[in-house]
């Protein structure tokens, strides 16, 4: 082989090696730029816990996305994610869910950011809780899109509508969950009447069974009527069962002296 041919072969090999080095550096940069989760972990936190208790501190591998998944059984009380800053003796609550009425659904608390010395504390009133901690080194916003009494969630989008006519002195089912275990969330409703009302009342109550509105009894929205009451009510208050998932059926109780037409926008949501 001639000298110039050897030289060109050497140059081609040198260029190819240089391209491999550049490609390897690019891949390494992408994996360490916070775009890809490079480590994950899962640990059991509580198992059918029926007393007030704090967990052990969770493993620390530099996680940025932290999740506490938990399932309640007739539980009332609170559960949280809490952090102890370096050099301090007390834990600070960063995310918390509270249940004032018995809850038997599964939920998730999420927390974004690096928090060593992270743990969960369960404050028990009734029932029990099982919980698991999962985490990833991937990035996550510190706060979720929405925070409520029951912890972190997303804003509800009401994509369902219903219209029900309810005669006076009658209780009728308004809406039902689409899937077993769903919670109904009413975003707004309008009530009109086909005649003059008298001194009476219109309620939204919650039933444990489909067709069981005659004995619902769990009321969390109410309006009173009189002979001079306007014939149209509009409410933009979000309404959801505080007794879910045990009482998932929404009922209308009408004692206004006139037939009521109730129009609602709502969503049937799992995991609230």
- What is the pLDDT, as a whole number, of residue 140? 80
What's the rounded mean pLDDT across residues 193-208? 92
Give the pLDDT confidence score for residue 3 in this predicted structure. Answer: 57
Closest C-alpha to 264, from 253, 256, 252: 252
Rounded CA separation 237/219 (Å):
15
Q: Tokens 């029926």 map to which residue?
A: 50
Q: Which domains does the chain have, with CATH numbers?
A: 40-153 (2.60.120), 160-270 (2.60.120.340)
> Comparing C-alpha atoms, which of 194, 174, 218, 200 is closest to residue 255?
200
Residue 27's pLDDT is what? 42
Task: Note the pLDDT tens digit of each residue in 222-265.
Answer: 999 998 877 888 888 889 887 666 788 999 999 999 999 999 99
Q: Please indicate whether residue 153 or residue 127 has the higher confidence score (pLDDT).
A: 127
φ, ψ of residue 212 to 5 degrees: the values are -100, 25
List phi, psi (to 5°) of 73.
Answer: -130, 100
If phi > 0 it is left, if psi is from -120 to 50 it is alpha, else beta; for residue 166 that is beta
Residue 200, φ and ψ in degrees, nearest 5: -165, -155
**Residue 12 backbone dihedrals phi, psi, to 5 degrees:** -60, -45
Give CA–CA dist 77/96, Å, rounded. Answer: 11
Q: What share of the chain has pLDDT > 70, as a percent?
A: 84
Cβ–Cβ < 8 Å for 133, 45? yes
147-173, pLDDT tens digit by residue?
788 787 788 889 999 999 999 999 999
Q: Is 67 helix (H, G, I), strand (E, B) or coil?
A: strand
pLDDT, position 2: 55
* β strands within 7-157, DSSP E: 40-49, 53-54, 65-83, 92-103, 106-112, 118-119, 121-136, 146-148, 151-153
- The pLDDT, as a whole number, for residue 5 is 58
The pLDDT of 21-25, averaged and rounded, is 51
Task: Classify residue 86 by its DSSP letter.
Answer: T
Q: Which of the 8 DSSP states describes residue 33? A: T
């Amino acid at each position: 082989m001639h000298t110039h041919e050897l030289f060109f072969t050497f140059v081609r090999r040198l260029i190819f090696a240089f391209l491999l080095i550049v490609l390897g550096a690019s891949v390494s940069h992408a994996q360490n730029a916070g775009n890809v989760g490079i480590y994950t972990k899962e640990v059991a936190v509580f198992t059918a816990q029926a007393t007030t208790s704090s967990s052990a501190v969770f493993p620390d591998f530099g996680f940025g996305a932290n999740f506490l998944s938990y399932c309640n059984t007739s539980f009332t009380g609170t559960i949280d994610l809490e952090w102890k800053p370096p050099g301090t003796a007390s834990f600070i609550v960063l995310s918390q869910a509270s249940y004032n009425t018995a809850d038997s659904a599964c939920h998730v608390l999420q927390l974004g950011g690096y928090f060593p010395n992270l743990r969960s504390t369960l404050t028990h009133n009734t029932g029990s809780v099982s919980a698991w901690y999962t985490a990833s080194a991937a990035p996550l916003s510190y706060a979720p899109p929405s925070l409520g009494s029951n912890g972190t969630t997303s804003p509800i989008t009401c994509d369902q509508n219903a219209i029900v006519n309810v005669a006076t002195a009658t209780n009728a089912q308004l809406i039902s969950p689409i899937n077993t275990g769903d919670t109904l969330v009413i975003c707004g409703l309008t009530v009109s009447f086909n005649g003059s009302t008298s001194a009476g009342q219109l309620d939204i109550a919650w039933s444990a069974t489909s067709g069981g509105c005659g004995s619902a009894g769990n009321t969390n929205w109410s309006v009173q009527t009189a002979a001079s009451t306007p014939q149209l009510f509009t409410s933009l208050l979000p309404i959801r069962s505080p007794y879910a998932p045990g009482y998932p059926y929404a009922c209308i109780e009408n004692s206004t002296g006139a037939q009521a037409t109730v129009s609602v926008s709502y969503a049937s949501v799992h995991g609230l």
